[in-house]
Structure 1
Amino acid sequence: MSKTFFKTQLLALIILSFLIVSCNRTDDEVPNFPEGSTESVNVWVQDSMRRYYYWADQMPPKPNYHLPVKDFFKSLLLPQDRFSFIINTSDASTYPRSVRNMYGFDYAVLQLENGEIVTVIKLVLKNSPALNAGLERGMIIKKIDGQNITASNAEQLTSSIAEKTMIELTVGNWQNGSVVNEKNITVYYGYTFEQPLTSKIFDKNGKKTGYLYIYDFPDGMSQALNQKFAEFKSAGVQDLVLDLRYNYGGSVSSAAALCALIPAGISANSQFITYKGNKNGGEVKRSFSQQIAYASNAINFNALQANSLGLQKVYVLTSKSTASASEIVINNLKPYMEVIQVGEVTLGKDMAGFVIEDKRKPKKITWQIHPVIYKVFNANGEGNYNNGIFPQISVNEFISLPLLPLGDPDEILLSSVMNKIYSKSVHTEAQSKSVKILFQSDRPFTVLSKLNFK
């Protein structure tokens, strides 16, 4: 497929997404509703979904146009669709809410071997309200707004947090099997700034290992990635550990830029990804060079290759919060190198999409649709990991408390990899412990891999 044809095809898709279209129906199938009415918005939603939705051919033929828009949209979705969502840009209450995106932290409720229930903070974002309030990874939460956390009320408490603008936490530190230094902390709802890449280089017996923690894949991160890999290459890094355990995903083009910096033997024309859509979307294949170039201000493939480590294998740390574009990294590197996954099974978001909205000026419809549009596959045609990608080395990061900082060589997931790299074995003593994860505050179900268009 020529690049000119490829861009023409994408341009046609974009133009269609900007229009208020009547797709796959005749005018007598749907009543004429007054412009601006809820019913007219629902018709636009239906038409857009019939054009782009991956499961368009399984949508109900006669939906109820009188439903509220959000309810109408849900009525169009397949029951197994966990990821499509809709928001009203003029109504903040319709936006997805979670502990992480409102306050900048996440936690897990655990049942220890002795039956004790503890709630541990597993993630605190940089430049976040949580960090500013004094929260740290590894702290234990005893109470949320004065209530003790139990297995039965954890989900309800998490849901209630999303409806507030401040929360009161009683926290402490885990020490020798108990919580010490308890204190009360107030966390206010607020904005969390972009998360930086975190890297380290470990040197043992003359062998250097690079560690890179990537929180997400925002648009235009190729420059930051290129700089980190320049540092790795200059230091003579021979092994690489990617920490994607909390990475919900983001831009596919940024994920492709990362992948271009790791394996040996790839070229600009090596296939990176295949998108498979409905009968309207068809099948689209992109090389490394093509996918990277669709991001704004991207460094081109050849420039990235100058800092490629040229490795034969890579280690990836994962959890149930590893999703979307981060899963694409794992799956789409496999045709070109050995990928050794350590941690837990990933979320299973083997799909991608783009935003559908009204581009008329002035805008007449303020709703934005974020539907599943494509399933994604690697260069070998491998995909369909909706049940998650399973690790070769299963490790529960909560088997050893307190949780250590990310990037600490003694942290349980990283230490498992370091043992594998330097001693060729994985220590199994800690893995024999029984720690049950009862609930996690992560809700990564509203982030789709983002396609980039020019």
Structure 2
Amino acid sequence: MKKYVVLFLSLGLLSLSCSKDDDSLIKLTGPNPDPDANVDVQDFMWKAMNSWYFWQAEVPNLADDKFPNTSDGSKAYTEFLESESDPAAFFDDALLYSEDRFSFYSDDYETLTKSLSGISKSNGLEFGLVRFSDSDDVFGYVRYIIPNSDAASKDINRGDLFTGVNGRTLTIDNYSSLLFGDEDTYILNMATIEGEIITPSNREVSLTKMPDLAENPIFLDETFEIGAQKIGYLVYNAFTNEYDEELNEVFGRFADANITDLVLDLRYNPGGSVNTARLLSSMVYGANTNELFLRQRWNDKIQEQLSKEQLEDYFADKTSGKTTLRTLNLSKVYILATGSSASASELVINGLAPYVDVVHIGETTRGKNEFSITMVDDPEGSYIYNPERENKINSDNRWAIQPLVGRNENADGFSDYTSGLVPDIELQEDISNLGVLGDLQEPLLAKAIQEITGSTTGKRDFTVHMPANVMTSSKMFAPLKDNMFIDKPLNINLN
């Protein structure tokens, strides 16, 4: 019989029209392992990746004929799964395509799925890490602080620097364990800048991670009136769909203020919901529901089952909650984006490009054009996480994986930006002059306003004296990282 399934890929809401006797929504390949072998996690990982992974055909270990459904095949499959007792190493070393930079795992699906909603264990300090020239030492600089967090109650602000933790100098070998280890509380050893020299100070700041800290991605929205221009400015730090209605309200305020120009600040935004990226782009460009926003490409197993309509997403006119979108109908937008801008941030830039003059100010972006699904050990649910099927997840296996399952292209068919999207106007953040977000003198915002107003008099000097050559950031150690996930219904007809 035919099975009709609606997959909400990421948060995994799932509904299907088939009998209770139907097994998996996908055709599982290969045998089952020896039931006495302790390989539940590896078995789940292999079968989920074999079914959904974008590069499944490129990975010999994931080949459909790798393990025939025979007694010999079952033995070989069991031995393969047992070859690596650490599931993390098994995933990284045995299952990933060599060019995959973004698929990842978690040993606790609850922690991962909370992060998709902007909830994580955090002290609220968001920072970049930079390596000193000709040294293995590392320093951090504060980018912003999440409201209502522990850091928000402490004497620490954007632009502050630190060079140590708990009295130990940060290096490329220890920064991960000191800042992102198991300790919930640590003491930052702060530093100052004199000229272009960073010097440790005696100031210390103690920070404690809070469980279930929720970050509203709408960090700041302002409207500036400069001459004949009314300029909207939005600092948006993650594509978190729980805040879509509030995002629409922001654009309502912009529309009511009759703004003429928009500066969209995605410099610290590593990505998130594909549908939220579509909604945001629609708020900028308009509710043009007959114009293509993106086209998806899956692996051959999934792709052949999807119609043209199912593979295409158009601009939206309503939120998921059926609220009419407030749109600006702009023909030009200024987007601040850096190497920390990834996935859904890049999707906005690329998706708008065929329709809107996108002026990208900042740095080359991360270069992530694939989307993913949250997967858990629920074979009858096609391994897709569904909060309504929590009792169906293998109770002996809390692991989750977040594999890349597809790639997005824009209406012009362009998706080749794995090296990142290059800015129209290059301008790095300056450690010695980071500025205050929302202040008209903050360098990246000031540059955008200069471009908008076209002022030829009194132009400021944008020379960067201490470029923020970021090697990583605090967001890359959060469960969500730079993930872009699908969260719209996908109708698949499986025979």
TM range (shorter): 0.7 to 0.9
Q: Which runs of 4+ in 1 moved over 6 A?
A: 90-96, 178-181
* Correspondence for 1:187 among 194, 207, 211: 207
User: Are 1:336 and 2:355 counterparts?
Assistant: yes
Task: Within 5 Å, give how 1:431-450 maps onto structure 2.
Answer: 431=463, 433=465, 435=467, 437=469, 439-442=471-474, 444=476, 446-450=481-485
Q: Which amino acid aligns with 1:32?
A: D
Q: Distance in 1 between matches of 2:255 and 2:357?
A: 19
* Partner AA of 1:353 in structure 2: S
Give the Å deviation of 1:126: 2.0
Q: Is the 8 A contact 2:236 2:269 kept in 1?
A: yes
Counterpart among 23, 29, 33 of residue 25 in structure 1: 29
Partner of residue 355 from structure 1, selected from 362, 374, 388 = 374
- State percent identity of aligned pairs: 25
Indicate whether 1:235 and 2:257 are aligned. Answer: yes
Deviations 1:41-72 (A, max 9, x none): 32222111111000011221477201232222
1:241·1:315 contact (CA, 8 Å) conserved in 2?
A: yes
Output the CA distance in 2 between the equivalents of 1:243 and 1:331.
Answer: 15
Give per-residue Cα distances to partners, 1:144-192, cap 9 Å, x unaligned: 211234xxx1452233321122111122554665769852111112243
Q: Deviations over 1:253-273 (max 9, x none)?
A: 111111111125x52222111
Question: Which position in structure 1 is the counterpart of 2:104?
Answer: 85
Give 2:74's aligned residue.
none
1:420 matched to which residue of 2? Answer: 451
Given that 1:111 and 1:435 are in contact with CA atoms closer than 8 Å, whether structure 2 keeps it comes out as no
For the aligned residue pairs, the C-alpha RMSD in angstroms reads 3.4
**Offset at residue 442 of structure 1 (A):** 3.8
- 1:40-439 correspondence runs (5 A): 40-59=40-59, 60=61, 61=66, 64-66=80-82, 67=84, 68-74=86-92, 75-89=94-108, 102-104=122-124, 105-109=126-130, 119-149=140-170, 153-154=171-172, 156-163=174-181, 164-171=183-190, 174=193, 182-191=202-211, 192-195=213-216, 197=218, 198-263=220-285, 267-282=288-303, 284-289=311-316, 295=320, 297-299=321-323, 303-304=324-325, 307-357=326-376, 358=378, 359=389, 361-364=391-394, 365-398=397-430, 401-423=432-454, 429-431=461-463, 433=465, 435=467, 437=469, 439=471
Deviation readout 1:55-91 (Å, 9 max, x if unpaired):
0112214772012322222220012212111223279
Gaps of 5+ in 1: 1-6
Distance in 1, Cα, partners of 2:419 & 2:108: 32
Equivalents in 2 of 1:369, 1:378: separation in Å? 27
Structure-2 change in CA distance of 1:147 and 1:419 (3 Å): same
Pair 1:203–1:111, CA change in 2 (3 A): farther
| C-alpha separation in 2, matches of 1:15 and 1:394 | 46
Q: Secondary structure at the match of 1:289?
A: coil
Q: Structure 1 residues 269, 157: CA separation in 2 closer, same or farther (over 3 Å shift)? A: same
Given the superposition, is the C-alpha separation of residues 87 and 120 from structure 1 closer, same or farther in structure 2, using an over 3 Å criterion? closer
CA contact (8 A) 2:217 2:240 kept: no
Once the 2 structures are TM-superposed, how far is the Cα of residue 233 of structure 1 from its aligned partner?
Answer: 1.4
The 1:436/1:420 distance shift into structure 2, 3 A limit, reads: same
Relative to structure 1, is the Cα distance of residues 87 and 19 closer, same or farther in structure 2, using a 3 angstrom cutoff? Answer: farther
SS in 2 for 1:346: coil
Q: Is the Cα contact below 8 Å between 2:278 and 2:315 reproduced in 1?
A: yes
Amino acid at match of 2:393: K
**How many residues align structurally?**
425
The DSSP-based 3-state class of the residue aligned with 1:57 is helix
3-state SS of the aligned residue for 2:174?
helix
Q: Which amino acid aligns with 2:35?
A: F
TM-score normalised by the chain length of structure 1 = 0.83
- Using the alignment, how far apart are the partners of 2:39 and 2:406 within structure 1? 28
The structure-2 alpha-carbon separation of the partners of 1:91 and 1:65, relative to structure 1 and needing over 3 Å to count, comes to farther
1:336 & 1:180 partners in 2: Cα distance? 49
For residues 91 and 227 of structure 1, what CA distance do their matches in structure 2 show?
30
TM-score by length of 2: 0.76
CA distance in 1, matches of 2:201, 2:374: 47
1:179-217 alpha-carbon deviations (Å, 9 max, x no partner)? 698521111122432225211111111311110010111
- Write the deviation string for residues 14-43 of structure 1: whole angstroms up to 9, x where unpaired: 579x9768856343xx64333xx5324322
Does the CA-based 8 Å contact 1:353-1:374 persist in structure 2? yes
Question: Which segment drifts farther, 443-452 or 370-379?
Answer: 443-452
Q: Give the structure, 1 or 2, with the largest relative contact order (CA under 8 Å, sep 6 or more).
A: 2
Label 1:240 to 1:427 Cα distance change in 2 as closer, same or farther (>3 A): same
**Structure 2 gap segments, 5+ residues each:** 17-21, 68-76, 379-388, 490-495
Q: Which residue of 2 aligns with 1:452?
A: 487
